[in-house]
Amino acid sequence: MKGVAAIAGAFALVALLGPELAPFDPAAARLDAVLEGPSATHPLGTDDLGRDQLSRLLGAARTSLLAVALVLAGALGLGLAVGSVAAVRGGLVDELLMRLTDVGLAVPNLIVALAMLGFLGPGYANMIAALTLAAWPAYARLSRTLMVSVKRRPYVEAVRLMGAPPGWILLRHLLPAAIGPLLVYATADAGFIVVAVATLSFLGLGVQPPTPEWGQMLVAGLPFMETSPGLVILPGLALTLLVVGFNAAGERVALDRVPRPQARRRRHAA
């Protein structure tokens, strides 16, 4: 499990160092080197515009992981804000916000993103905004549930009866209880966002040429599947490995949060 989870870390390192590792500009076309096979100059060959395939795969790692980071940051921030207001205010405000959240949860994320992109138009920034608006309801529901469970505990009730303001209770007791599980969920959710970015780019609604992205590389390589299968296999393999790595990392983080029997016995003995 640790080895598989380390794949996500390896991709993050590749995304960070991609421009330095890439032997060529991933967007630079060379019509005199179209669809070349692997060679010393181009270890993974070139695409239909003569662009170095290795450089594009490395550049696509940064494109995809940056999109994942932006979507998770936006969805986590927006969901946490909505969940916090609902948990602290309660009553009618809680009811209205949670019904809005339920509407968002009732529609698949990709359908929401497609509808938003149909309204906003294709593009990288619009894709980030659409996926963020599609993903926040799950974070809002989870954060509200976690905060309400802590809010009802006797020690929090005692602090409230002693006159502590709601903002202090939120910052001191409710947010710390919600952040950990939310980060675990975000780690597991990253794999879905990677697939969503690739899907939207595959459909021509996400990352636009000449910016390298795995889904876009897949659709561009499909007409040459028989003569140059690497144009499809390599980005598909990179996408699969990253999704598996994120899923394994999410499981690993979740397992690390479960108290081990030895640790429980030591606490009881103390």
Check whether 6 has a pLDDT greater than 90. Answer: no
Lowest mean pLDDT among 55-64, 197-206, 259-268: 259-268
Q: Is CATH 1.10.3720.10 what the domain over 2-23+49-261 is classified as, yes or no?
A: yes
Structure tokens of 40?
């010393």
In the three-class reduction of DSSP (H, G, I as helix; E, B as strand; rest coil), residue 162 is classed as coil
Query: Where is pLDDT greater, at 159 or 57?
Result: 57
Q: How confident is the model at residue 5 (pLDDT cuts 50, 70, 90)?
A: low
Check whether 263 has a pLDDT greater than 70. Answer: no
The pTM for the full model equals: 0.86
pLDDT computed for residue 243 by the predictor: 87
Distance, in Å, from the CA atom of 194 to the CA atom of 124, rounded to the nearest integer, reads 14
Lowest mean pLDDT among 1-15, 142-156, 206-220: 1-15
Taking residues 238-264, report their average pLDDT: 71
pLDDT computed for residue 259 by the predictor: 52
Query: Where is pLDDT greater, at 2 or 265?
Result: 2
What is the phi/psi pair of residue 38, to 5°? -55, 140
> 142-185, pLDDT tens digit by residue?
999 999 998 888 888 888 888 888 888 888 888 888 888 898 88
Cis peptide bond N-terminal to 210, omega within 30: yes
Long-range contacts from 169-174, C-beta under 8 angstroms, 24+ separation:
169/88, 170/84, 170/87, 170/88, 174/84, 174/87, 174/88, 174/147, 174/150
Q: 24-33, 132-141, 148-157 — which one is most confidently predicted on average?
A: 132-141
pLDDT computed for residue 256 by the predictor: 65
Task: Please state, rounded to an integer, the average pLDDT across all residues of the chain.
Answer: 86
The domain ranges of the chain are 2-23+49-261
In the three-class reduction of DSSP (H, G, I as helix; E, B as strand; rest coil), residue 46 is classed as strand
pLDDT computed for residue 265 by the predictor: 46
> 218-242, pLDDT tens digit by residue?
999 999 988 889 999 999 999 998 8
47 close to 220: Cβ distance less than 8 angstroms: yes
> 111-131, pLDDT tens digit by residue?
999 999 988 899 999 999 999
